[in-house]
Structure 1
Amino acid sequence: MDYSRLIDAETWAFIRQTAESYPDDAVTLDIEGQRRVYDSMCRAFYRGRPDRVETEDRDANGVPVRVYWAGHPTRTVVYAHGGGFILGGLDSHDDVCAEICAQTGYRVVAVDYRLCPEHCHPVQFNDCRTAVEWAEAEFRDPIVLAGDSAGGNLMAAVAHAVRGRSKSILGQVLIYPVLAASGEAPSYAEHAEAPMLTAADVEFYQGIRFDGPRPAGDPTWAPLSDNDFANLPPTVVITADCDPLRDDGRMYCEAITSAGGRAAWINEEGLIHGYLRARGSVTRAQDSFERITVAIEALGQGLWPYD
């Protein structure tokens, strides 16, 4: 794959800056080493919070969360961070959540789910579901589920688990999520050696979730493994074109629409996995982040501008 042609100069500069804190071989470090360099990278790209955004760290029935608000919100976004199920927390995506809050006017609840390998599946799924149910009871607002990468996986899994039980969830916005149980889609081969995330990296992060065999046909860890995609909330999936996970988003949206639901797949050309951190320096990433916040805001209002 000729990434010199597909990826523009701004994005290459972001990739090089990322490598200064989080090198390509970081996945070979031990878990504490990976967390150390990941946290360093997140600090290097941290943009702070918009002035008017307030925050409070809360306990959501045993799950730590950080609540963001500006003014008097009437909608709540529950956000799960990325990081391969082993990295990240309330600080790694603090500015992302604060900016979503500022741009949509919605309350944002960031979930500090427990990490692998200390806590194997289904702990992360259970923590996210608990946080969603807590937000539903605490604020009594309509809810939009959102998350990136591993967090997109977890929020999609929650959407599958609570459909038919929760009337509060208006939609889900998933940002370059991992959704499949195995890397058999074309993008896994096409972008096996993509910058920022390789197919081997995906396999590592998926495998570390389990202390034993991976359960088959279980949408609580691989939403594309479900045999029923009906009655899911309206869904917007945003993927990076230069990412082995790209086709997970495409196939997920196809499964929902085939079952009679609403789903929109937005594939961002020339972008790579993890580009949320580039929204301040890369024009393509900035434009995509605008599309992400517009999607969250629209679903929160019960609108569907994708027909």
Structure 2
Amino acid sequence: MTAPDYASLIDAPTRAFIRRTESFYPPETASFPVEEQRRIYGRMCAAFAQPRPPGLHVRDEAVGGVSCRIFAGAGPRVVYCHGGGFVVGGLDSHDDICAGICDRTGLEVVAVDYRLAPEHPHPAALEDVLAVIGALPGRLVLAGDSAGGCLAAAACHVLRDPRILGQVLIYPLLGGDTGRGSYVTHADAPMLTRADVAYYAGIRGAAKGDPTALPLDDGDFTGLPMTLAVAAECDPLADDATDYAARIRAAGGRARAVTDAGLVHGWLRARHSAPRAAQSFQRITDTIAAFARSEWPYTEVNP
């Protein structure tokens, strides 16, 4: 198999983003002790953090017994699950991303500070997300990136709750076959490798074939909300989004998968510097807003 030509696939602004990320978060970080990983990840997130848009009202409080950060806005609420391989990340790592969603949609965003592995193996993180959803009144839209996309989707599968109007999954880990497709083609992609995926799967402590851990292991894709699954082309996880949306459509649901050309895992932090990332973030926030209105925003039902 010929390795992807990342020099041509990835444009200059995205390459600059990768270089800057790696200056804080070296490619071998997944091999470091967990506390060191968290320190490095926190430093990287702080370096990319953008000021909150003016006028936002933000507070930290427990929801369903789980620490959350609430970005005040209109209903329905957006429940956001952060990425980080189930091992790193928290309220501060994704503060500006959640602030941006709130600012662009006008919706209240509830960021969930779920428990992390390995101290709290699966299903601790999912239990925290379910507790927050159960404690919030009214209708909801779920969203999350990477591991957080997995948690959002898993919650939808567990609950099949009509209060959940839609889910938006950003370069999500969903449990695809690691021996084929994008897992092979992009096994050594910048920002995330197949080896990294295997490491985080192992440290999470979930049983093989458990659909509450990996939604693609579920045999039932009925009763799920409207779904946008956004993949980055240069990412071993890329096919997870496509496969997941296809399963929902095959079960009679509404789902769209988009693979963003030339983008890499973690591109959310490039949304202010890379035009491709900015365009994708706009699609994401437009879709969240549409789902909150109970609208399917795409002309094609089965893209």
TM-score (norm 2): 0.96
Q: Which residue among 249, 267, 289 is the counterpart of 2:281?
A: 289
Q: Which residue of 1 aligns with 2:233?
A: 241
Q: List gaps (5 residues or longer) in structure 1.
A: none
User: Is 1:156 the counterpart of 2:153 in the alignment?
Assistant: yes
| Superposition deviation, residue 217 in structure 1 | 3.3
Q: Which residue of 2 aligns with 1:133?
A: 134
User: Structure 2: how far apart are the matches of 1:253 and 1:184?
Assistant: 20
Q: List gaps (5 residues or longer) in structure 2.
A: none
Single out whichever of 297-306 and 114-123 deviates more from structure 2: 297-306
Q: Which residue of 1 aligns with 2:143?
A: 146
Q: Which residue of 2 aligns with 1:117?
A: 118
Q: Which residue among 64, 69, 85 is the counterpart of 2:67?
A: 64
Residue 82 of structure 1 aligns with an amino acid whose one-letter code is G
User: Is 1:279 the counterpart of 2:271 in the alignment?
Assistant: yes
Residue 203 of structure 1 aligns with an amino acid whose one-letter code is A
User: Is 1:191 the counterpart of 2:180 in the alignment?
Assistant: no
Q: Which residue of 1 aligns with 2:54?
A: 51
TM-score (norm 1): 0.95
Contact 2:210 2:217 in 1 (8 A): yes
Residue 250 of structure 2 aligns with an amino acid whose one-letter code is S
| Superposition deviation, residue 181 in structure 1 | 5.8
After TM superposition, the runs of 4+ consecutive aligned structure 1 residues lying more than 3 A away are none
Q: Secondary structure at the match of 2:232?
A: strand
Alignment of 1:1-307 (within 5 A): 1-70=4-73, 73-135=74-136, 137=137, 140=138, 142-163=139-160, 166-180=161-175, 182-210=177-205, 214-306=206-298, 307=300
| Superposition deviation, residue 75 in structure 1 | 1.4
Contact 2:176 2:240 in 1 (8 A): no
| Superposition deviation, residue 179 in structure 1 | 0.2
Contact 2:123 2:213 in 1 (8 A): yes
| Superposition deviation, residue 216 in structure 1 | 3.7
Contact 1:178 1:245 in 2 (8 A): yes
Q: Secondary structure at the match of 1:156?
A: helix
| Superposition deviation, residue 277 in structure 1 | 0.3
Q: Name the % identity.
A: 51
User: Structure 1: how far apart are the matches of 2:82 and 2:128?
Assistant: 13
| Superposition deviation, residue 127 in structure 1 | 0.5
Length, aligned pairs only:
296
Q: Secondary structure at the match of 2:219?
A: coil
Return closer, same or farther for 1:283/1:215 CA change in 2, 3 Å cut-off: same
| Superposition deviation, residue 305 in structure 1 | 2.0
Contact 1:65 1:112 in 2 (8 A): yes
| Superposition deviation, residue 182 in structure 1 | 4.4
Contact 1:185 1:247 in 2 (8 A): no
User: Structure 2: how far apart are the matches of 1:82 and 1:267?
Assistant: 18
